[in-house]
Amino acid sequence: SFQMSVEVERKFICTDETLRILEQTAGEQREFHDQYFDTADFGLTLQDFWLRKRKGSWELKCPMSRGQAKVEALCTRYREITDLAEIQLRVREVLKDEGDESETQDEMWINELNLKCFAEFTTIRRSFTLKEDAVQVDLDQADFGYSVGEIEVLVSEGRDVLSALEKIEKAAQKLGLTGNQKIPGKMYIYLQRYLPKHYDALMKTKPGLNKA
């Protein structure tokens, strides 16, 4: 069966105060390079699908039907698909590709579907696990000069998203996060800086999103 999980997360800007709190727990650091793919007319991202390759593995983040208004306030949630055959199926569906549905090997499917890498960057990530709240906190430093934190909870499909929100809220309070503004992720800043046409097209589909 396909491994599908739902990621609920809240981004934040990490202050020295929050960093001090996090550094009381053991953290680990890693580095990765992400490549994001879309068609020339933004067939995936304008529908809020995010296709990415990281360390040789593919992942598709898929939007979920609008749920609790509470989720949209400060957090985002996406279904994450990591099974390649399932990713190909979903991408073909989103792009309304008429071609044969046979699973193609290697990177042939990328060319076939006219997908191109539109953004790539390297991130240094420090991760902390707050065990008592069952959340993970990541501090990301992207190589194009943007740092952002995120509190995230993975829930399995169909599980209660509200309890995830409560965990995130509890962790946010512990970390002294008082802001109630939605903080943009790395990709939004990247698009805003380097691909303003793409960014503007996205903003037209998401009028509620905060500008950076």
Which residues inside 8-67 make contact with ligand V4E, applying CB under 6 A?
A: 11, 50, 61
Dihedral-angle region of residue 176 (phi above 0 means left; psi in -120 to 50 means alpha; beta otherwise): left
* Class of residue 37 by CB neighbours under 10 A (exposed 0-12, middle 13-18, buried 19+): buried
CB of 96 to ligand V4E, least distance (A): 21
Nearer to ligand V4E, 186 or 198 (CB): 186
CB of 187 to ligand V4E, least distance (A): 3
- Asked if 188 interacts with ligand V4E (CB under 6 A), we say yes
> Distance (Å, rounded) from C-alpha 161 to C-alpha 98?
35
- Asked if 187 interacts with ligand V4E (CB under 6 A), we say yes
Q: Which of 78, 109, 118, 146 binds ligand V4E (CB under 6 A)?
A: 78
Do residues 192 and 202 make contact, with C-beta atoms less than 8 angstroms apart? no
Which residues inside 113-152 make contact with ligand V4E, applying CB under 6 A?
A: 150
Picking from 56, 61, 54, 55, the residue whose alpha carbon sits closest to that of residue 90 is 61
Q: Which residues bind ligand V4E (CB under 6 A)?
A: 11, 50, 61, 76, 78, 150, 182, 184-188
